[in-house]
Each structure stands twice: as structure tokens, then as C-alpha cells.
A and B are shown apart, each in its own frame.
Chain A
Amino acid sequence: MIVKPFSEWFRKNMSIIGPILITIVIIVIFQLINPLFLRYQGIITLVYAMSYFLIAACGLTFVIMMGSFDFSVLSLVKLAALLCVLYIDKIGLWVIPLALSICVGFGFINGLLFAKLKVPSFMATLGVSVVVEGIALYLSKGFLHIMSNRTFRALSVTFIMRLPSIFYWAIGVWIICTFIAIWTPFGRRIYAIGGNPIGAMLSGFNVENNRIYVFMLSGFFAGLAGILYMAQFGGGSIEMGADMMIPLFASVVAGGTALTGGVGGPQRTLLGVIIITWIQAGLLMLGFGRSIQIVIFGFIAIVMGISTIDRRRIKIIK
């Protein structure tokens, strides 16, 4: 029988085949509805929509792989973007290391609260996120700021081989993240912590420090995403919205990284980001607003969250 091994193989690799099938279905549906979807202009739109998202989602993936959650990613994206636009005239391109180091600093605070002070990661990062939003509100006074520095904007909008440079940044970050997760001892440790924290502790490495490093990594990528976001759009206000955290989270789980940790990884997040941002772009092309988008992403987050969790391994979930 040839059917049986095939179905077994299918079931085994469901978490990787599922997202690919969803991606193909999305492309076909939107291509049928709107023939401009796969033209050059449409592809550029898709690439722009997914790039900064992919960078931020890669950072979040590490945290979710570890079994924790980072609510502050989007706030840090916002803060980094705002720091760039506010201080580019005063200190030039030094804003980039400044914004990155501030974001890594907040990631460090997240990690410290979570690993050392034993605060549940969701609440710790929610608190930090409120503080970060408060700082952003204080700095911007709620106004819209426009970025006029051309050198800075060239970071994202230089076209190489007919594609914007932010796309290459995103792919580069994705490759580095995959490399870290699969081939470095640090990456394997993250999987170990996500799979079984107590076992990881007993195997002899410092779980607390590794947790702090992961949150710092997440902060770093959030900062990078913020800088490139600002270079891409050339302006932005503080009102990016708290509800946009759900698409980011949905893109990580839609790729197949389980909320309980230990499974998945950045290599899968690429597919998740493609699914989410392409649905978003497709809906925008069809003329649907943000309300419908967040309803759909909320459902995706719940459904994918339920379907990726491995229920045999866990007994209690809060």
C-alpha cells in the first residue's frame, strides 16, 4: 500500500505542510479576486508589508520557543522608530546604535524581571510595555513626526535587483536567527529550556542567564525592526495601536511554534509572517479595513494556538 506511508508522512510533517498549503491557498484566492496581486507592484507591496514584521517576529519566536511571552516587542518597535526620528538631526546616524542599545536595555529589564524576580513573563513585559509607551508618549507629545534624512531612509528603500533593501535585511536576519536556533549551543539551550526548564537546569547550564539573553535578543530585533520601519515609512506617530500585537503573535504561532515552547523556531516563522502579512495586504487590496483584519487575526491566533500545543506533555496550564 502506498497510501499508508504517505498519510503517516503527512501526519508527521503536518506542522510544516499546513502553513505551506495555507500560503498557496491565500495566493490563489487573492490572485483570482485581484489579478494585480502577483504583478511587480503587488509583490513590492507584499515585501514591504512583511519585512519589518519578519524581523520583529524572529525576536518574538525565540521568546515563545522558550515557553515565555514578550508583550513589549511592538512598543519597542515604536520607541526605536521614534528615537530615530527625534534625534537624527542632533546626533546623525549615531541614533541607530542609541536606539538599539536602549531596546536591548529594555529587553534586559524584561529578562531580569522574569528570570531573577520570578514575575510571569506576560505581566512583566506588559508592565515594561506600558512604561515604554509612556516614554514614547512623553518624547513625542503625541505628535506625528516626519523623517527627512535621506541617508537614513536609504537603509530601507534602496532598490537592489528591483527589490527594496529592507527585504534583504529581513532575509539576512531570518538566516542568522535560523542559524542561531539550529546550529549554535545557545539555540539548542533555548529549545531545552522550552522543552523542560527543570531538566535544563539539571543538565548544568545557567537557565536564568540564558533567559535574560533571549529577552535581550528579542529587544535587539525589535529595535532593528523599529529603525528599518522608520526608514521605510519615513514617519509615524505613537498611535500604532495595542491591537497590532495580535498579528505579530499570530504570525509566530501560524508558522508552527507552540506556545508551550520547545517546538518550532525562526525557520517556521517566515511562513507564518507570509501568511499573516499577505492576508493583511490582500484584505487591504480588496478594500477591507483594520477592524475586519484584527477579527480574522484574533481567530487565527486562537485556532493556531490551540492546534500547535502538544497536550500530552503538559498537565497544567494557567
Chain B
Amino acid sequence: MKIPNKKKLIPSIISVIIQTIKIYPVTLFLFALVVLFASLYPGKFLTPLNLSTILRQFVSLMLFALGPSIVVVTGSLDLSYVGIWMLGGILVWVLMPTLGMVSILVIPLLGLATGFIVGVIQAKAKIPSFILTLSVLVIYCGLTGIISGGISRSVRGYEFITRRWIPYIPTAFLWTIPIIIAAVFIMKYTKIGIYLYAIGSNEEGARLAGINVDNYKILAFTISGLFTGIGSVIYFQNQGGSVPVVLNLNTMVWPLVAIVLGGTPLTGGSGGPQKTILGALTFTVLFRGLTLSFIDPTMIQLITGLLLIASIVASSRGSKGVMIT
């Protein structure tokens, strides 16, 4: 690699920064937020404890947003993640006495099966994906309620997943890194990823180019379900080995905010997991900063909603030719 001489070094750094901002506009927002909060709360924001909290919240957001962002690339929507986490968690509690430690594997299996079934129904029966996955989510929440009897159940024995190795860095975060790398690798460097981007930008064109669109859509949902399942294992233990039994609107909406804020348009065709990382980080920093501030805690949901609307509007610019419903 050629090292640029001193005269060219600064302009080349600037051009790299400009390029980054062009591709990932949210970095500017993230930087502004960090500067703002660091100057507003000098003693509170940039402390190791706060940064570690940010990492923890980032992990929980990222684990849910990773799988769906693969589906969003194809232009569909996958909302079933919270359902997989809840039903999977309660199934672990049911299976623990008979199967022992292996029972944690039920969560990835459930995710895989859910993704596959959702994909088959969506691709073959042609029902809009958001309604389908929303119904699946609601069905899973209902099943969780039935199985658990309406009480949150906790499971012991998986503490090793989140035992602390390095001070201040949550172990869940270390687990998340290979998962993120795997997702980005699939979307960036394999045939599957390229085909999914093609389907997202023009499904009819992809079909005419000889891609088996139905099979790749099913694959996208299956991968999404698997990633959600694997992520749910970590998140499950991160939350102390239990799951809530009532659906909360916020848990469902926040990963969507992360995806859209990162810059993946809902019409599909661009973006992907690598952008979702930035979206999740920005949202976490904003959320943490708002929590530290004097704003009424009940206002935070309102701000989240406004942020969601603003980022969807921003990300759907330039999609004028696409027919939307």
C-alpha cells in the first residue's frame, strides 16, 4: 500500500470522512449527539459505567435488529423477533427438567423453523409480510401467556454465557461481534447477499434475470429467524434467564427504529446489517442521553416515535418511482 505524502494526507482524510458521511449520514448525527451529551453532562456521560451501559443496551437492540435488517433488504418486513424470544424463553423453562442444558438450543431451532414457515407462507401464498409476521408475533405472545400461566418464569444454569471476562465490557457484547460479522459477511461477500439486494431493488427484474425469487425470499426469512434465535439466547441470559409474558410496544418498535435510522430504506435494495450497527448505536446514545437529562421519562416514547417518523421519511426519499401501499 502506498502511503500518501504529507501534503496529500489531510485532503485524503477529509475525502474519506466525506465519503463516510455520504454513505452513512447517521455518523454525523451520532457524532453530534456524543458531543452534545458529553458537553451537557461532563461528569456523567463519558464515564466507564455509562459507556458500559450504552454497550449493554446496544447489544440488546442489535441482537433483535440484525435478522430483520436482512429481510428489510429484500423489501419485506419481519416483526416476529420478539415472539421468537418470548416463546423460545418459555420453552427453555418447559424443557429444562427433561432435556437439561441442551434445552437452550430450542430457541435457535424455533427461530429457524419460524423463519422458514413465515418465508414459505409469504412467498407462496403472497400475503403482505408485515401482517403475517405481526400475526405470528401475536400468536407467539399468546402461546407464551398460555404456557407460562401469565407469570414470568426464570431459568438458572446458563450464567456462563454472560460471565464477565474483561472489566467494563459486557460479555454479551463480545458474543455479539461474531454474529454481526457473520451477518455482514453473508450480505456483503456471498451470492445470497447479492441476490437479496437484487430482489429488494427490483423483484421482477431479479426474476427475469433467472433468480429463483421465492426460494431466496424463504432463505432471507430463514436466515433472519436463525439470527434472531441465536441472538435471543444471549439476550435471554442477559436479562437474567427469563422473558416477559406481555407484549410491549416499545420492544417491538425499537429494533425497527435502529434499522431505519441506520439508513436501510423500507422499500429495500440497499442498506443492510452494517448500517443497522450505526443505527442501533445512535439510538442507544440518544436514549441514554435522554435518560440522563431532565426530560420527563414519559416523554421518551414520544421522542422515539418522532425519531422513527423522521428517519423513515429521510430514508424513503428518492423512492418516488416505487409503488407503495
Residues in chain A within 8 A of chain B (CB atoms): 67-69, 113-114, 117-124, 126-135, 137-138, 141-142, 197-198, 241-243, 245-246, 249, 259, 261, 289-295, 297-299, 301-302, 305-306, 309, 311, 314-318
Contacts and interface: CB of A to CB of B under 8 A. Distances in A.
A309 B164 CA distance: 52
A67 B323 CA distance: 11
Interface string B49-81: 000000000000000000000000001110000
Interface of B: 75-77, 121-122, 125-132, 134-136, 138-139, 141-146, 150, 203-204, 246-249, 252-253, 256, 260, 266-268, 296, 298-306, 308-309, 312-313, 316, 319-320, 322-325
Contact of B249 (A133, A141, A142): A133
Given A259-B131, A302-B132, A305-B132, A118 B142 contact: no
Q: Which 4 A-B pairs have the closest CB atoms?
A: A134-B302, A291-B145, A130-B305, A131-B305
A128 to B, nearest CB: 7
A197 B126 contact: no
Contact of B299 (A67, A138, A293): A138
A68 B302 CA distance: 24
Contacts of A69: 128, 130-131, 325
A126 B131 CA distance: 12
Contacts of A241: 246-247
A130 B249 contact: yes
B128 A318 contact: yes
Contact of B253 (A126, A135, A306): A126
A296 to B, nearest CB: 8
Nearest to B308: A127
5 contacts: A120-B325, A137-B302, A314-B126, A318-B76, A318-B268
A243 B138 contact: yes
A118 B316 CA distance: 7
Given A120-B324, A133-B249, A317-B127, A298 B135 contact: yes
A259 B135 CA distance: 14
A123 B312 CA distance: 8
B324 A118 contact: yes
B138 A246 contact: yes
A137 B301 contact: yes
B214 to A, nearest CB: 12
Given A123-B312, A131-B309, A302-B136, 12 more contacts: A69-B131, A119-B324, A137-B301, A291-B143, A291-B145, A292-B142, A294-B138, A295-B139, A295-B142, A309-B125, A311-B126, A318-B75
A243 to B, nearest CB: 5
A68 B266 CA distance: 15
Nearest to B248: A242
